[in-house]
Amino acid sequence: MGWVGILTLDDKVYPSLVKDFYKKMIFSPGTEITCFLKNKLIKITRDLICSLLRLESGGISLYTTKTIPYIEEEYDPVAACCRVTGKHFDVPTRLCTNQLTLTCRVLHNIIAHIIVPRKGHHDEVNDYDVFLLDSILLG
């Protein structure tokens, strides 16, 4: 899923420079962000971000929680529900966080608050959450 690049960044971070960068950044038409920091021009492109995070530049896509991204392997929603709850289901069902295993509850909390933040209550587990949880569990 491309998480290794994000989670293994071990470069030094300078919070004051990051703060100044966000204050002064300018979005250019297209996919470029520019900023002048300490009299130096910084250009950030989508390709640069992808190379830093070791991701493929697959273009821009619209995010929605209503659909599950296309994957090469066969994704079985029933088996995914079984893996994240530790219970057996015959058909995919709507889940609440209290039905998840303890590990999946913690992961869902991280997903719902940090990775894919959303408004409202966080006790409902949608299909995309199940997909992400199952992908994390399977590696």
pLDDT digits (tens, 9 = 90+) for 74-124: 778 888 888 899 888 777 678 889 999 999 999 999 888 888 877 777 888
Tokens 């303890």 belong to residue: 102
Task: Give residue 119's pLDDT.
Answer: 79
Please check whether residue 33 is in contact with residue 27, taking contact to mean a CB–CB distance below 8 angstroms: yes
Neighbours of 58 (CB within 10 A): 9
The residue-averaged pLDDT of 50-68 equals: 64
Q: What is the mean pLDDT of residues 38-45?
A: 88
Return mean pLDDT, the chain: 80
pLDDT of residue 53: 66
Domain boundaries along the sequence of the chain: 3-52, 77-138
pLDDT-derived band at 22, boundaries 50, 70, 90: confident
* SS3 state at 29: coil
- DSSP conformational letter for 112: I
